[in-house]
Structure 1
Amino acid sequence: MTTVASKQAGPVVHRAGPRFGAEITGVDLTRPVDDPTADTLRRAFAEHKVLVFRGQHLTPDQHVEAVRIFAEPFDHPTALRHPDNPLVYPYNVAQTGKASTWHIGGLWRTPVFAIESLTYQEVPELGGHTLWADLQAAYDDLSEPFKELLGSVKAVYDGNAENYAQGSRKNAPGDTVEHPVVLEHPLTGRKGLFISTSARGLTGVTPQEGTALLDHLLRHASSPNYTIRFGWRPGDFVLWDNQATWHYAVDDYGDGARVYRKVIGVEPLRTTS
């Protein structure tokens, strides 16, 4: 497949791990892509769940258009906006703090974000990698009786979007929201665990059972058996399936720089073949 720009040979998928994750070459996302190329990229995303495009150096507008290949960019109600495009959210960990917990984005929302994506402007010389874990593979390895139990269990989260904003003290009042701990993916139909470290508890079981179950699920889903790791250079672009994976930003770089922009996607697009 080729893009609109004739110099591009078409996307090549380089698997980064045995379960999931891939780097994509042969595509210049600073230029428009044609429909067959976009469809190839969507198939790769459905299969690999985390896609990395090195050295793209996307502008805010180009970042939005790159996400639009996969899903509709989301207008976040509480996020700090980039002056060049209101659908782009800038982050500098020196001001915003680090996201060094296993988590899923947009848990205040039903459904949660389909896709999250980042473009990196500044990264530490060493460290600052990001981990993802395959929640569907983690679910596959559970016993059938345990899967049956989890099918009736939900997790409780903070439902106020203000508490997810940059610099928030996370004490704004509001209702909670519940999500099933087993999610059937809306595009592929594949089941996976759906759990985050910010869960306040589980419903459908006693509090004591919920504590034990939650502890086990969090440990199981973050096992190295299900993880992949990427390091970064300025200009790299990454997007991931927020309904099939969770992620962790490794805090091993002290006061080193980490500056990036985020674009969120909802209502994911299906492939046409």
Structure 2
Amino acid sequence: MTAILETPGVHSSSHTPFRVTKLGHNLGARIDGLHIHADLDAATVAAIARVVAVHKAVIITGQHHIDDDAQYAFGQRLGVPTKAHPTVLSRGEDLLPLEGAANSWHTDVTFVDRIPKMSILRAVVQPEYGGATMWASTVAGYAALPEPLRLLADNLRAVHTNDYDYAEHLTVGDSSDPEYRAEFHKTIFRTEHPVVRVHPETGERALTLGHFVESFVGLKTSETADILRLLQARIERPDNTFRWNWNAGDLAIWDNRSTQHYGVADFGSAYRKVNRVTLAGDIPVGVDGRPSVSLNGDASGYSVVDTARRIPDFEPASDRSIRDF
């Protein structure tokens, strides 16, 4: 159903009206009728941020006028942009151009202690077919765990790192470039995160996993592999995902604290390029109140630490949500 945005605490009369269409039970929505520009009023920016918090992954259509500068400026309205990447800066410090497709489930940049809160992606060159992006809700994935697995996840901590075989996961585009891989690994980061984090704005619990996980603290390599496969499978269930086939003028925004995503490499030898802006996030905190801990690498040059505030009167899009309010 399509309607003028009406959400608790944000009224259509207080911001530029736009339409929100819910596209999936657990995540996914489309915004139509919104023209992004540098002078968006604060109420409209707040309304967009709320839609992202509720629906996790959001597509804003009709943004044919957006270029790199406008994409970055829009990010500045929603938060504090990070540098393009903690290690890959040869392509520019503001936006990260990505060629090919990730072809693996992940949350952006979890190998640092201050995981970005939000990512903004713009398709620059799309192939004639394929090249969709998929998202999965790590909130719904956690909420659907049976109690024994939930108790296990609540008590696990995982080490995330960029020191792994990048090409094993990313088989199309950048991963085939030795110079890119060398730059990706030039500074090694390792961070210990709670496997279950409490979202600082919504209070929802979310699984923090993906392809940057190296090990679970205190467990053997084989045990890590088995448990990671088990928990990842819950995140990746088809009913917990949202898939978008890109159209010209689309801009994707997602809550990086409550999702994983996957760039689908189903376009053969065709060329695909997307540009990403990420926004500074907080340091994750587990259900026991313990924060993430940096083990190797200093991320202060990459990003500030965001100070997040709870969203008043927050109502999740899905009924599969466990919150700590």
> What amino acid sits opposite 1:68 in the alignment?
Q
Kindly indicate whether the alpha-carbon contact (under 8 Å) linking 1:121 and 1:235 is maintained by their aligned counterparts in 2: no
Q: Is the 8 A contact 1:135 1:244 kept in 2?
A: yes
Question: Paired residue for 1:79?
Answer: 88
Is 1:220 aligned to residue 229 of structure 2? no
Gaps of 5+ in 1: none
The change in CA–CA distance for 1:208 and 1:124 in structure 2 (over 3 A counts) is closer
Instruction: Quote the Cα distance in structure 2 between the aligned partners of 1:246 and 1:37.
Output: 26
**Equivalent residue for 1:151?**
154
Where do 1:162-181 residues align within 5 Å? 167-169=180-182, 172=186, 174=188, 176-181=190-195
For the 8 Å contact 1:108–1:157, the answer to whether it is kept is: yes
Percent of residue pairs identical:
28
Tell me which of 56, 65, 72 is aligned to 2:73: 65
- Give the Cα separation in 2 of the matches to 1:155 and 1:272: 31
The two structures have a TM-score, normalised by structure 2, of 0.73
With 204-213 and 165-174 compared, the bigger mean Cα shift is at 165-174
Cα distance change of structure 1 residues 82 and 11 upon mapping to structure 2, 3 Å threshold: farther
Which region of structure 1 is more displaced relative to structure 2, 38-47 or 66-75? 66-75
Q: State the Cα deviation string for residues 122-171 of structure 1 (Å, max 9, x = none).
A: 101111111100110010011223212211211222256xx899712455
Query: Offset of 1:173 from its aligned partner?
Result: 6.6
Q: Which amino acid aligns with 1:24?
A: I
Give the corresponding residue for 2:52: 45
* Counterparts of 2:14 and 2:129, CA distance in 1: 34
1:122 paired to 2:125: yes
Other structure's SS at 1:210 match: helix
Residue 36 of structure 1, CA deviation: 1.5
Measured after TM superposition, the shift of residue 79 of structure 1 is 2.9
Q: CA deviation at 1:109?
A: 1.1
Q: Decide whether aligned partners of structure 1 residues 87 and 175 sit closer, same or farther in structure 2, where only a CA change above 3 A counts.
A: closer
Deviations 1:82-114 (A, max 9, x none): 66xx41222333xxxx31000111122112111
Instruction: Describe the shift of the 1:174–1:135 C-alpha distance in structure 2 as closer, same or farther (beyond 3 A).
Output: same
Count residues with an aligned counterpart.
262
| Backbone CA RMSD of aligned residues | 2.7
Structure 2: gaps spanning 5 or more residues: 1-11, 168-173, 281-305, 314-325
8 Å CA contact retained: 1:24, 1:51: yes
1:36 aligns with 43
Please give the TM-score of this superposition, normalised by the length of structure 1. 0.86
**How far apart, in 2, do the equivalents of 1:198 and 1:272 lie?**
33
Residue type at the aligned position of 1:28? H
